[in-house]
Structure 1
Amino acid sequence: MSQLQRDHDPSAGTDYDQLANRFRPIFARIAEGAVERDRSRTLPHDAITLLKEAGFGAVRVPIRFGGAGASIPQLLQLLIELAEADSNLPQALRSHFAFVEDWLNAPAGAEQSTWFDRFVSGQVVGGAWTETGGASIGTVNTKVSKKEGRWVLNGAKYYSTGSIFADWIDVYAQRSDDRSDVIAAVSTNQPGVVRKDDWDGFGQTTTGSGTTIFDDAVVDEHNVIDFARRFRYQTAFYQLFHLATLAGIGQAIRRDAATLVRERTRVYSHGNAPQASDDAQIQQVVGEIASWVYAAEAVTLQAARPSQRAYELHLAGDAEAERAVVIDAEIESAQAQVVVSELVLRAATHLFNALGASATSTSKALDRHWRNARTIASHNPLVYKARIVGDWAINGTEPPYVWQIGTAAGRGDK
C-alpha cells in the first residue's frame, strides 16, 4: 500500500447487507409518502432530514473518519433502493456525493478532515453549475472576487439540484482576477444566497432544483478551489447517478406491476383466466418488465466498477493506469445510459399493458414512473452518448471528460 493510500484509508467496500439494513426502514418510510409528494409537488424536506440524521451522506467517507467506507458500486446499489422508494431523492443528493467524491480524491490534510467531519455530521451539499440566459458555451457568468478583503460570489444558476435542502452549494464559477475556473463551496446560511423552487419539468419535480442567486455571498478563501483539481472520473460519476435513479424507477415499476396485478379483481371477458394473476398473457407482461429491470440494474452496477478502480488507482499514485480506467469509466457509463434508459422507459409504458384503464387514475400516479424516467433520460442526450461510444469503438477517440451547455454564437437561449 502506498503512503497516499495509508493517508486516505480508501473506501474500498463494506458488508453491503449490513450497510443497507441501516437505511431500509428509512427507505420504507420515504416510500409511504412518495405518491402524495408527487401529486402535490411537496418537497421532501422530512425525507432528506431522515437520511441526513442516519448518516446516508457519509457512506463513502472512510471508516476511520466516521463514515461507512462503501465502494462506488455499493453506493449505487443503495441509491437504486432509495430511487425505488422515491426517485427524486438520489437526484437531490447527486451533487452532494460528487462533492464527497472530490474530497475522497483530494490530498489528505486538515481541509479534507474538516469536510469529512461535515459529511459525517449530516451536512449536505447541493450543486449549482448550469447557467441560462446569455451564457455561451465555454463561458461562465458567475464570478468570485475579492471585496473588502474577502471573497464574494455573484451570479445566478439554474438546475441547482438539491440546493434547496443543502447546507453548502458546490458552485462552478470563474475568478474575476485571473479568469480561472473554480469551484466555490458556499454556505447557504447567509443572506447572499437565495434559492427558488422554480424547476418546471414534468418529472423529477421535487428534487429541489431551480434558480439560485448569489449576491455578494461570502466564500471562505480555502473554499475557492481550482477546478482543475476535480477528480478525473467526475463526468462518469455524475452519469452513474442517472443510471441508479433509472434502475430504481424500474424496480418501482416492477413492484407496482406485480402488486396491482396480484390485487386486481376485475377481468375481461376475453381474457385467459378468472383472475388477472393467473392470466398467462398478463404474467408475460410482468415477466418482461421484471427482466428488463433486472438487466437495467445489472448494467448499472457493472458500469460503476471502473469508477471505483479509477479512485483506487488515483490513491495508489498510478497516473497512467488511472487515465486508462477513466476512459473505461466514461465509455461504460455512456453505453449503460443508452441501454438502461431504453429498458426503463419501455417498462414504464408496458406497465399499463398489465392493467386496465383504472391504472390511469391520478390517485395511483403510475404516470410518474414514465415522467421521471423520461426526465432523467433527457438530462444528457442519448444520441451524443451513442456517438461517443461509436467514435471510441471505430476510431479510438477519447470521450470528453468535461462538457458544457450554453448558447451557440448567433443563437438564442433554447
Structure 2
Amino acid sequence: MTEHQVINPLSIGTDYEALAARFRPIFQRIAAGAVEREQSRSLPYEPIQWLKEAGFGAARVPVEYGGGGASLPQLFELLIELAEADSNVPQALRGHFAFAEDRLNSPPGPGRDLWFKRFVEGDIAGNAWTEIGSVAIGDVITKVSPDGDRWRLNGEKFYSTGSIFSDWIDVYAQRSDTGGDVIAAVRTRQPGIVQSDDWDGFGQRTTGSGSSRFIEAEVDAENIIDFATRFKYQTAFYQLVLLATLAGIGRAALRDVAHQVRERKRIYSHGNAQRVSEDSQVQQVVGEVAAWVYAAEASALKAAQPAQRAYLARFSGDEALERAANVAAEIESAKAQVVVSELIQRATTALFNALGASDVREGKSLDRHWRNARTVSSHNPVIYKARIVGDWAINGTEPPFVWQIGNGPQHKI
C-alpha cells in the first residue's frame, strides 16, 4: 500500500461562517454590478477573476491541500449566497465544481494532488458535453485521437457553460482508436480552441453558455480520463448547483421586492394604508414570497446531504452503501427540483403583485429574476424527474445516473 493510498484526507466540512466570510465582500462587489451586466449583457469576467484569486474554486479541496474543506451542503450554501448576488456566476462555475468533484472522487495519487494544486492556485474548469447539429441520441461526434505522446481533440460543443472564463475545459469525447467514451481535460488557452458567446436565451444571459470548437487541440495523455470512472452522483450534483442557483434567485427577488415596497411613495386610493409598507395585503404578498424562498432554500440544502454521503461512501469500501447513497442523492435532488422550480417561479412572478406598473420598467430589471428562474428550471426536464421519483416510490426502480440528449430515431413512412 502506497503512502498516497494511506493518506487520503476528505472534505467533511468546516466552519461555514468563517469560510463564507472570506467571500462575502466579493459577493457584495458582484451584486453591485449585477443589474448593469444584465442590461448591457456583459459577461462577468472580472467577478469570476475575483473569485479565482480568492480561492473560491478550491472550496471543496481538502484543507490539507490548502483548500476550503467544505462539505457539499456547505458548497451549495455558498452558491446560494453567490446566486443572490448574481445568478449567472454560480451557473458559470457549475462545470468547474463538477470537474473538481470528480477529481475529489478519483483515487489518491500524484495526479489528483496536481489537480488539487491547480484548483488552490486558482485554475477553474469549464464544461463542454453537448454535441451540436443533427446528432442521434447516444452518438459522440467529438473525437480525441492519439498523436505521439499527446492526443488531439476535434469537435464542436454547445452549452459549454463557463468555458469562456476557464483555464481548462471538461470535454466529453470519444476515443478514435477504441471508441471508448472519455473526458478530455484540455487547456483552454491554445490555438486549437475557438469559443463563442452565442448563447441567446432570454434568461441567464451572461453564463458564457455558448459554443466551443476544438480543432486539433492538444490534450496531455494523463488528462484523458475514462468516463466509466466518473463520479456516480454527477447528475445529482449538476442539479444541486441549479437548485442553489434557484434558491439564490429567490433570495434576490425577496431582497428587491422588500426594498421596493419600503421605498415606494405612491399609494392607491383603494389600498389599505397611508404607506405601501404598512398595507396588509402588500405585506401578505411579500410574506408569501419569503415563505416560498425559505422552503426552496431548505429543500436545496437538505437535498445536498445525500450527495455528501455518496462522496464519503466512495471511499468506504462498501459497494452496497455507496450504491444506496448514489440512489438517494439522485432521488432527493429530483424531489427538490420538482418543488424548488415551482416555488421560485411562483415567487418571482408574485413579487409584482406587491408593486405597481412603474416597477416593470426595464431600468429596474426586476423581470430578470423570473427570466433567470424560468431558464434554470428548464434544465433536465422536471416532468421526467417527477416520473423518476414516482417510479422509485411505487416500484423501487433505480433512477438513471447518466442520460443523454439527441435526435430520436427517424420514423418510416
State TM-score, norm by structure 2. 0.98
Name the structure 1 match of 2:255.
255
Is contact 1:8-1:104 (8 Å) kept? no
Q: Deviations over 1:20-71 (max 9, x none)?
A: 0100000000000000101110000000000000000001000010101000
Q: For 1:281 and 1:191, locate their aligned partners in 2 and report how far apart those are by CA, in whole Å.
A: 59
Q: Residue 147 of structure 1: CA displacement?
A: 3.1
Q: Deviations over 1:263-287 (max 9, x none)?
A: 1111000000000000000000000
Work out whether 1:295 is the aligned partner of 2:295: yes
Structure 2 residue matching 1:267: 3-state secondary structure: coil
Name the structure 1 match of 2:278.
278
Q: Residue 302 of structure 1: CA displacement?
A: 0.3
Name the structure 2 match of 1:242.
242
Name the structure 1 match of 2:268.
268
Is contact 2:303-2:332 (8 Å) kept? yes
Q: Residue 370 of structure 1: CA displacement?
A: 0.5
Q: For 1:6 and 1:234, locate their aligned partners in 2 and report how far apart those are by CA, in whole Å.
A: 26
Structure 2 residue matching 1:153: 3-state secondary structure: strand
Matches for 1:319-398 after TM superposition, within 5 Å: 319-398=319-398
Paired residue type of 1:106: S
What is the aligned-residue identity percentage? 67
Name the structure 1 match of 2:207.
207
Structure 1 residue matching 2:400: 3-state secondary structure: coil
Q: For 2:189 and 2:136, locate their aligned partners in 1 and report how far apart those are by CA, in whole Å.
A: 30
Q: For 1:288 and 1:148, locate their aligned partners in 2 and report how far apart those are by CA, in whole Å.
A: 62
Q: For 1:178 and 1:323, locate their aligned partners in 2 and report how far apart those are by CA, in whole Å.
A: 28
Unaligned stretches of 5+ residues in structure 2:
none
Is contact 1:168-1:186 (8 Å) kept? yes
Is contact 1:4-1:316 (8 Å) kept? no
Structure 1 residue matching 2:169: 3-state secondary structure: strand
Q: State how many pairs are aligned.
A: 409
Q: For 1:148 and 1:33, locate their aligned partners in 2 and report how far apart those are by CA, in whole Å.
A: 47
Q: Residue 6 of structure 1: CA displacement?
A: 5.2
Name the structure 1 match of 2:165.
165
Q: Residue 8 of structure 1: CA displacement?
A: 2.2
Q: For 2:302 and 2:6, locate their aligned partners in 1 and report how far apart those are by CA, in whole Å.
A: 27
Name the structure 1 match of 2:230.
230
Structure 2 residue matching 1:402: 3-state secondary structure: coil
Name the structure 2 match of 1:134.
134
Structure 2 residue matching 1:315: 3-state secondary structure: coil
Structure 2 residue matching 1:365: 3-state secondary structure: coil
Q: For 1:47 and 1:6, locate their aligned partners in 2 and report how far apart those are by CA, in whole Å.
A: 38
Q: Residue 4 of structure 1: CA displacement?
A: 8.4
Name the structure 1 match of 2:35.
35
Is contact 1:171-1:183 (8 Å) kept? yes
Name the structure 2 match of 1:177.
177
Structure 2 residue matching 1:156: 3-state secondary structure: strand
Q: For 1:275 and 1:141, locate their aligned partners in 2 and report how far apart those are by CA, in whole Å.
A: 62
Q: For 1:410 and 1:399, locate their aligned partners in 2 and report how far apart those are by CA, in whole Å.
A: 27
Q: For 1:188 and 1:405, locate their aligned partners in 2 and report how far apart those are by CA, in whole Å.
A: 25
Q: Residue 228 of structure 1: CA displacement?
A: 0.4
Is contact 1:88-1:205 (8 Å) kept? yes
Q: Residue 135 of structure 1: CA displacement?
A: 1.4
Q: Residue 397 of structure 1: CA displacement?
A: 0.6
Q: For 2:224 and 2:19, locate their aligned partners in 1 and report how far apart those are by CA, in whole Å.
A: 34
Q: For 2:301 and 2:150, locate their aligned partners in 1 and report how far apart those are by CA, in whole Å.
A: 44
Q: For 2:32 and 2:78, locate their aligned partners in 1 and report how far apart those are by CA, in whole Å.
A: 18
Q: Residue 104 of structure 1: CA displacement?
A: 0.6
Structure 2 residue matching 1:8: 3-state secondary structure: coil
Is contact 1:132-1:406 (8 Å) kept? no
Paired residue type of 1:132: I
Is contact 1:233-1:330 (8 Å) kept? yes
Is contact 2:240-2:300 (8 Å) kept? yes
State TM-score, norm by structure 1. 0.97
Is contact 2:5-2:108 (8 Å) kept? no
Q: For 2:240 and 2:146, locate their aligned partners in 1 and report how far apart those are by CA, in whole Å.
A: 36
Is contact 2:105-2:311 (8 Å) kept? yes
Unaligned stretches of 5+ residues in structure 1:
none
Structure 1 residue matching 2:202: 3-state secondary structure: coil
Q: Residue 378 of structure 1: CA displacement?
A: 0.3
Name the structure 1 match of 2:99.
99
Q: For 2:7 and 2:250, locate their aligned partners in 1 and report how far apart those are by CA, in whole Å.
A: 39
User: Would you identify which runs of 4 or more consecutive aligned residues in structure 1 move more than 3 Å?
Assistant: 3-6
Q: For 2:388 and 2:148, locate their aligned partners in 1 and report how far apart those are by CA, in whole Å.
A: 47
Name the structure 1 match of 2:24.
24
Name the structure 2 match of 1:65.
65
CA distance 1:108–1:115, change in 2 (3 Å): same
Structure 1 residue matching 2:131: 3-state secondary structure: coil
Name the structure 1 match of 2:312.
312
Q: Residue 132 of structure 1: CA displacement?
A: 2.2
Q: For 1:88 and 1:135, locate their aligned partners in 2 and report how far apart those are by CA, in whole Å.
A: 28
Q: For 1:173 and 1:89, locate their aligned partners in 2 and report how far apart those are by CA, in whole Å.
A: 26
